[in-house]
Amino acid sequence: MGLSEIATIAVVIVAAYGTAALSAVAGFGGGVLLLPVFVAVFGTRDAVAILTVAQLASNGSRVWFNRADVDRRLVGIFALGAVPAAAAGALLFSTAPLPALTRLVGVFLLVMVVWRRWRPHAARLDDTAFAAVGAVSGFGSALVGSVGPMVAPFFLARGLVRGAYIGTEAAAAVVMHAVKLIVFGAAAVLTASSAAIGLALAPASAAGAWTGKKIVDRLPVPVFVALVEAGLVTSGILLLVTGG
């Protein structure tokens, strides 16, 4: 193994750890910030599959560390819409052309920043509308890997704070990622090598989630949010320019 391969592996591990820690503090942003790194290293289609495995580990860890505060009823309502939509989106993703996917990811990252600025707070939705948010989230997550920044305001509007918000949002994400992995596997998008890479990153993702849990009450979330948004803008522009 050459120095370039070792350096690439190190960058991917550090990115997985850092973005998992960021998600555990801010409650969102890790997946969409990690995606451009994976796209650059693995290519668009493999990147989303690997990210799904890594995010399953990261979100699963966040659920475990905040398990006492998870709103299971709200997760169930979200899943009603998210499960079928995530399956449909994953099927579409498996046949979509790669250049179009790359540009879609770039546009999505920029939209995340605009959405966060335009709608930092969302109205409290009833159960039916919240299931609809789950459907939109599941479909979008299957196409671009993660939609945390877009759905975060709707979870916060239900009165969830700190551990309850982080754990509940993560549990909803686990449902979406699990469905996507099943479909990706059936459609041969998730290969043995991409699954192995995602699993190899699981310890770094879990460690990052643990670190974030430890510092969530100590550091100002706005600082992390600003860093996430700066990264999203930069990554989105790069993907649009280099999208082939």
pLDDT of residue 223: 67
Confidence of residue 116 (pLDDT cuts 50, 70, 90): low
pLDDT of residue 134: 93
Q: Bigger pLDDT: 152 or 177?
A: 177
Question: pTM of this prediction?
Answer: 0.74
| Residue that has been written with the tokens 């009603």 in this structure | 80
Contact 134, 75 (CB under 8 A): no
Q: What is the mean pLDDT of residues 122-143?
A: 86
- Across 12-21, 79-88, 141-150, 158-167, which has the greatest mean pLDDT? 79-88
Helices 72-93 and 162-186: crossing angle, nearest 10°? Answer: 30
**Where are the domains positioned within the chain?**
3-241
Q: What is the mean pLDDT of residues 99-120?
A: 72
What is the spatial distance between Cα 230 and Cα 142, in angstroms, rounded to a whole number?
24
pLDDT of residue 237: 78
pLDDT of residue 219: 59
Q: What percent of the chain has pLDDT over 90?
A: 15
Closest of 151, 55, 145 to residue 102, by C-alpha: 145
pLDDT of residue 187: 79
Half-sphere exposure of 36 (CA within 13 A, CB side): 23
Residue 181 has pLDDT above 70, yes or no: yes
Residue 242 has pLDDT above 60, yes or no: no
Which spans in the chain are helix H? 3-26, 30-42, 44-65, 72-93, 98-118, 127-144, 148-156, 162-186, 192-200, 202-215, 221-241
Average pLDDT value over all residues in the chain: 80
pLDDT tens by residue, 202-217: 888 888 878 877 776 5
B/e letters for 113-149, b = 16+ CB within 10 Å, e = fewer, are bebbeeeeebeeeeeeebbbbbbbbbbbbbbbbbbbb
Residue 226 has pLDDT above 80, yes or no: no
Closest of 52, 77, 67 to residue 199, by C-alpha: 52
Q: Bigger pLDDT: 124 or 60?
A: 60
What is the spatial distance between Cα 30 and Cα 17, in angstroms, rounded to a whole number?
9
What is the spatial distance between Cα 231 and Cα 3, in angstroms, rounded to a whole number?
27
pLDDT of residue 82: 94
Half-sphere exposure of 1 (CA within 13 A, CB side): 6
Closest of 156, 132, 130, 135 to residue 89, by C-alpha: 135
Q: What is the mean pLDDT of residues 67-75?
A: 93
Residue 162 has pLDDT above 80, yes or no: no
